[in-house]
Structure 1
């Protein structure tokens, strides 16, 4: 099973070495790396050229992160696609091999594990316990971490990729579309590290991300009035708590 790992970059020289090294060390042999660059001029492109696995570079891709991820998807030739951003990294050498083993021989089109957060250089466990997977649980909250998610390429294409009209919740929207096709394989262990820093998009504007999450959720809830009222009420409570914090 061939795996395509898409990494979006833009002046990513500071953190990209950790991401590249974590991919380089994977024990799974058949990996292609696709770098989608927005016009870096800080040495990022020169660093990419040192990659020791098969790789492609898409140059000058602008128009937002969703478009960049979609361009990487279009260039991918693997059976499975993962998006590992330039400031994130895999936690151990068998992440890809473990995911491939979990997907092989199953009808599931996607799989996800957990993450740790990297804050000020320290690895910190997730601050919540993810619920057992169900589509109903996912509609209540996005608990699927993007750096630890792997999707069969044909499922990703059938779902339509990422919505370029979304700025924060594009991954949540995609997970909900995938969940309508079938349940994922859920791996309990942490697979990737998510680096939190001032440049992290979703963490830099939490209220805007929260509002967009709700917008996406309501797209997928369905027409039932009681369900929509329940999600609206939960949203109002959470928004009030966020504003008073």
Structure 2
């Protein structure tokens, strides 16, 4: 395996479990970044033969890619391993299925190096629908201290996990990713980083996330919420000088058919409502499918009927506003 001989400016950490249909575009958006030197630490978290072969070929072709292979242990374990292997002073995250815009790495490094008081950085993020439809752009402010305050007091963190970068020394001082956070590992890390320094945000879109309809099961969604609340409970304990409370219990059961239908209907509704808020008629199709998945949900019927209004009456909601 080839590797860089000098310390790079940044270490890009990617946890991979399958996703062969999305890997090429995501990795291309990383490897075509210009400007700073970087290594790409890819942790293959027990992917199948096809994805594993693709990753091995990529590592053989590009000396910047360091491939680490392990049995499937989950995203948190993959990130613990990958960040532990990082050699650069700055760690940049990237998720499979997402894309980094040209110039992202350069802009993140400039922002985080603007002040030693900054512990982490992100950018604005554009969320895309399953077919690449623009759904919403999530923004954060320009003042690192105000962003830090809003994260700690109002739970307004970076727009998404893969869009972040942070100082490796702050990451290590904060305790890194914690294995007990099987979900919401990003929220837990962000809170601890914000206790050490500011949160800067580049004021333009440098990252795109694709919303997958099947990406979050009903069971996993509930666990994301539970572990997110747990991250804040741990912060409260730190402020009180107490030990962390016990983590939420994780049931190892498959989702029921009803839970799967509910999760799919909610995902279809979200995409449809976001598109309708932008006066995009493609939202109607998603809302119709949401009705088909869960006909008893009156809210979806109401939104679908509203989406059929004549567009000359529409005052479209500004991109980035929350959809109800």
Do Structure 1 and Structure 2 share a fold, with TM-score over 0.5? Answer: yes
RMSD: 2.6
Say which is worse superposed, 44-53 or 1-10, in terms of deviation: 44-53
Q: 1:41 to 1:208 in 2, by over 3 A?
A: closer
Q: Which residue in 2 is equivalent to 1:161? A: 176
Distance 2:217 2:82 in 1: 21
8 Å contact from structure 2 (residues 126, 137) kept in 1: no
Q: Which residue in 1 is equivalent to 2:111? A: 102
| Pair 1:5-2:23 in alignment | no
Q: Which residue in 2 is equivalent to 1:239? A: none
3-state DSSP class of the match of 1:4? strand
Q: Which residue in 2 is equivalent to 1:210? A: 225
Q: 1:129 to 1:38 in 2, by over 3 A?
A: closer
Which of the numbers 54, 58, 72 marks the counterpart of 2:68?
Answer: 58
Pairwise CA distance, 1:142: 4.1
Q: Which residue in 2 is equivalent to 1:44? A: 51
Q: Which residue in 2 is equivalent to 1:187? A: 202
3-state DSSP class of the match of 1:172? helix
Distance 1:65 1:80 in 2: 20
Distance 2:122 2:217 in 1: 20
| Pair 1:30-2:44 in alignment | no
Pairwise CA distance, 1:183: 0.8
3-state DSSP class of the match of 1:122? coil
**Count of residue correspondences:** 225
Pairwise CA distance, 1:158: 1.3
* Consecutive unaligned residues in structure 1, runs of 5 or more: 224-243
3-state DSSP class of the match of 1:87? coil
Q: TM-score, normalised by structure 1?
A: 0.81
3-state DSSP class of the match of 2:230? helix
Pairwise CA distance, 1:202: 8.0
Identify the structure with bigger relative contact order (alpha carbons < 8 Å, sequence gap 6+). 1
Q: 1:183 to 1:61 in 2, by over 3 A?
A: farther
Distance 2:98 2:19 in 1: 11
Q: Which residue in 2 is equivalent to 1:235? A: none
3-state DSSP class of the match of 2:234? helix
Q: Which residue in 2 is equivalent to 1:229? A: none
Which of the numbers 154, 174, 185 marks the counterpart of 1:170?
Answer: 185
Q: TM-score, normalised by structure 2?
A: 0.63
Which of the numbers 148, 172, 175 marks the counterpart of 1:134?
Answer: 148
Pairwise CA distance, 1:42: 4.1
Distance 1:119 1:14 in 2: 16
Q: 1:27 to 1:46 in 2, by over 3 A?
A: same
* Consecutive unaligned residues in structure 2, runs of 5 or more: 1-7, 241-297, 300-324
Deviations 1:43-63 (A, max 9, x none): 223322235351111112432
